[in-house]
Structure 1
Amino acid sequence: MNTQQLKLFKQLLPGLVPLFVFILIDEIWGTQAGLIAALFIGVAELLWIWVKEKRFERFVLFDTLLLLLLGGVSLLLHNEIFFKLKPGLVQLILCAILGFSAFSNLNIVGLMSRRYLKNMDVSDAQMQHMQGSIKLMFWIFLGHTVLVFYATFYLSDAAWAFVSGGLFYILFGVVFLVTFWKQKRRQYGQVQAVSEEEQLPVVDESGKVIGKAPRSACHNGSKLLHPVVHLHVFNKTGAIYLQKRPMNKLVQPGKWDTAVGGHIAFGEDLQTSLKREAWEEIGLQKFSAKLIKSYVWESDLERELVYVFSSNDFQGIQLHSDEVQEGRFWTRRQIEANLGKGLFTPNFENEYREFFLLS
C-alpha cells in the first residue's frame, strides 16, 4: 500500500473502531455490553482527536451514533437484522464518497486531505496519484459492502462478524502485500536503470573529484556540482560559431548555444572530454584549444563547473548528429543586437559578456 493509501486508510480507520470494538465485545458479553463499549470508545476518540489535533471528527461521531441507533432498534425489536445492516450502510456512504472522488472532477477525499495536511503542499501530480489510490479503495470497499449485505441476510452470526470485521483487515493486508511487491519490483527496475545510466563525476569548486552520480541525479535539482567543457570556435573574421539546440532537449530547447558543450564523463580527463564532445556535436577533430577560465554556473536544474575553451580551428566543422539542430557563424554585432531577447541560452550570454564582449 502506498503512502496516499495509508493516509486515506488512517483517515477512515478511526470511524470504524467503534464497530470493531462492538463486534469483539458482543461475542463475549452480548449486544448491550458491546453498545456501551462502542459508545465509550467513540466518545474517547472524539475527545482525543479534539485535544491532539484541535478538530472535530464528524465521521467518528456519525459512525458511533449510527451504531447506537441501529443497535438500539435491534434491542427494542429483538431483531438483529437492523444492527447487522449498520456496517453495510456506513460503507455504502463511504463508497459514494470514494466513487465520487475517483470518477468525477471533484475529489472530495483529496480536498479533505489538503485540509488535514495544511503544512504540506500537494502537487497536481500527487493528487492524480491519490485519485488512482482512491479508485482502488473504492473497489475494495464496494466488494466488502456487498459481502456484508450478503452475510447479513444469508450467513450465520459468526460468519457475519467475520465478514464485517476480520475480513476487512485481511482484504487490506492482501492489497498491502500486492502493492508492496509491485513497488519493490518498480524500485528494482529503477535501480537497474540507474546502474546502467551514464555516471558523471561529482567535484568540488577546485575541480577535485569527490564522488560520482548518475546523469539524472545531477539534473534533478540536487545541485551536485559536476564538470562540463565549453568550446567557442572563431573564424578568421572573429565571428563565433553557435549551435542551435534541438527542441527535444531538457534544458533550453530551441536556443542558440556555445559551439560545443558537454559533460565530462567519470574517469575522463579534460582534453579527452573536449575532443570527444567536439567530434560528437560539430564533427571537429584536428584542432587546438586554449583554456580561458573555469567557473561555477548554477541554474534551477543543475550546478556545473564549466571549463571554457576557445579555438580558431574552424575548417573541420561538419554537423553529423542529431545532437545539434543547425549551426552557423554569428558576427559580434549580430550577437550583441540579440542579447537578452531569449534567442541565446543564458549560459552562452553569460560567457559572451564575461569573456568576449570587451575584447
Structure 2
Amino acid sequence: MQNQRIELLKKLLPGFIPLFVFIAIDEIWGTQAGLYAAIAIGSVELVWIYLREKRFDRFVVFDTLLLVALGGISIFLDNDIFFKLKPGLIGLILCAILGMSSFSKLNIIGAMTQRYMKGMSLSEAQMNHFRRSMKLMFFVFLFHTVLVFYSAFFMSDAAWAFISGGLFYILFGVVFLFEFIKQKRTQKNLEPEEQLPVVDETGKVIGKAARSACHQGEKILHPVVHLHVFNNKKAIFLQKRPMNKLVQPGKWDTAVGGHISFGEELETSLKREAWEEIGLKNFSAKLLGKYVWETELEKELVYTFVSYDYQSINLHSEEVEEGRFWTSAQIKKNIGKGVFTPNLEHELKLLKF
C-alpha cells in the first residue's frame, strides 16, 4: 500500500514543475520570463511523458494553462496577487478531490490509482486503509491551502514562494513518513499473532492476514469450519458461548466453530477444532456446503460439516461454558428470541432443522 501511494504521488508531482520553474526564474528575470520558461517546461514534460508512457498527462496541461491564465492576468493588471493565488486554487481542487474520495462513495483517487497502475487491484481492506490515509492528507492539504491564501495577501514574496512550493513537498514527506512508521509499528505488533488465510468466495487462498486484522471491521474474507453433531434421536448438540466472549456472549451456538490457520488443511482444522472445543475425536463428517457470513466486525467463508458420531463428546475447554443436545421442538420454540446466535439460526435453516 505504501508503494502504491508513492507511485501515485510520482504521477501527480510532474504537474507542479512548471510552477517551481516560474518561481525560480521570476525571482531573477521577472514574471514574463518566468511564464515563458514555465510554458516551455510544461510542453517538454508533455512530450517526454507521452514518449515514455504513451499517455497525455492532463494534470501537467491543467497546471501550465492555469499558470498562464493567472500569470497573464497578473501582468495585464500589473498585480501579482492573481498569480499568487494560483497554488491556493490548485490546493482547493486537491482538497475537493481528496474530500470526495475520503468522505463519499465517489472515490476519485481510487479510480485514478486503478487507471494509472493497470493490473493492480485493491481489496476492500486495502481500500479502507487507503481512505483513512486520504482523510489525513485532506486535512493536511486544507491547512496548506489556507496558508497559501494567507501568505498571498499578508506575507512577503519569499515566504509565499516557500509556502506554495517547498512546504508542499515537506507536507507530503511528513504524511508519508507518518504512514510508513505507523505501518511498520502495526506489522511489528502483529508479528506474534496467528496468521489466517485470506480467500476469495470460491475458497482460493489469495494471501494472509493477522487474526486481529480479520476482526476489526475491515471485512477481510477468511475461512472457518463449523460442525453440527447429531445423536441417534436426531437431536443436535449445541455449545453455550462464555459471557466473556466479544461476539454474541452467553448465546447458544454451533457445536464446533473455529478458524482455519494459514497453511492448514480443511480436514485438519476441523479435527483440531472438534477436539479443542468439545473433545470429539475419531469421527467422520460430511461437508454440507459453504457460504459467506458477514457481520459488522468480520467476513467469513464458512465450511459447514455434519457428523453423527457423538459418543466421544467430552467438554474440557474453558472456551465452552456448557453443552447439550436440543430436540427439534426445543429449537423451534426458541428461534428468534435471542437464545441462539444469528449465525446458528441461519445454519439451522440450511439444515432444515
TM-score (norm 1): 0.59
CA distance in 2 between partners of 1:73 and 1:36 (Å): 15
Tell me which residue corresponds to 2:149: 149
Aligned runs of 1:340-359 on 2, under 5 Å?
342-343=350-351
CA deviation vs aligned residue, 1:145-175 (integer Å, no higher than 9, x gap): 1111111111111111111111112222222
> Equivalent residues in 2 for 1:192-203 (5 A)?
192=192, 194=193
Identity %: 52
Distance 1:3 1:133, change over 3 A: farther
User: Partners of 1:42 and 1:275 in 2: how far apart?
Assistant: 64
The Cα RMSD (Å) is 5.3
Q: Which runs of 5+ in 1 are unaligned?
A: 200-213, 224-229, 266-273, 294-298, 303-309, 330-340, 345-359
1:62-77 counterparts in 2 under 5 A? 62-77=62-77
Q: Does the CA contact (< 8 Å) of 1:92 and 1:142 recur in 2?
A: yes
Counterparts of 1:94 and 1:239 in 2: how far apart (Å)?
Answer: 68
Structure 2 vs 1, CA of residues 222 and 275 (structure 1 numbering), >3 Å: closer, same or farther? closer
The alpha-carbon deviation at position 76 of structure 1 amounts to: 3.6
Task: Report the CA distance between 1:281 and its aligned residue.
Answer: 1.3
Structure 2 residue 320 is the aligned partner of structure 1 residue 322: yes
Whole-Å separation in 2 of the counterparts to 1:155 and 1:276: 68
Closer/same/farther in 2, CA of residues 163 and 221 from structure 1, 3 Å limit: closer
Deviation at 1:67, TM superposition (A): 0.8
One-letter amino acid matched to 2:10: K
Which residue of structure 2 aligns with residue 121 of structure 1? 121
Tell me which residue corresponds to 1:87: 87
Q: Which amino acid aligns with 2:278?
A: E
Per-residue deviation, 1:102: 2.5
- The CA deviation string for residues 13-39 of structure 1, in whole angstroms up to 9 with x for no partner, is 122121122222333444333223321
> CA deviation digits over 1:97-124, x for unaligned, max 9?
2223333332222223233334222333
CA–CA separation in structure 1 for the residues paired with 2:148 and 2:9? 19
Corresponding residue for residue 281 of structure 1: 278
Letter in 1 for 2:138: F
Structure 1 counterpart of 2:54: 54
Q: Residue 6 of structure 2 aligns with which residue?
A: 6
Q: How does 1:1-359 map to 2 (within 5 A)?
A: 2-3=2-3, 5-192=5-192, 194=193, 243-244=237-238, 278=275, 281-282=278-279, 322=320, 326-327=324-325, 342-343=350-351
Cα deviation code 1:286-308 (max 9, x no counterpart): xxx8x799xxxxx9999xxxxxx
Q: Distance in 1 between matches of 2:106 and 2:221?
A: 32
C-alpha deviation, 1:63, in angstroms = 0.7
Contact kept? 1:22, 1:38, Cα under 8 Å: yes
After TM superposition, the score normalised by the length of structure 2 is 0.60
For 1:313 and 1:110, how far apart are their aligned partners in 2? 53
Residues 29-53 of structure 1: CA deviation (Å, up to 9, x unaligned):
4433322332122112222333333
Residue 11 (structure 1) shift: 3.8
Find the aligned partners of 2:108 and 2:99 in 1 and give their Cα distance.
10
Is residue 16–residue 60 contact of structure 1 (8 Å, CA) maintained in 2? yes
- In 2, distance between residues paired with 1:328 and 1:74? 83
1:118 & 1:45 partners in 2: Cα distance? 22
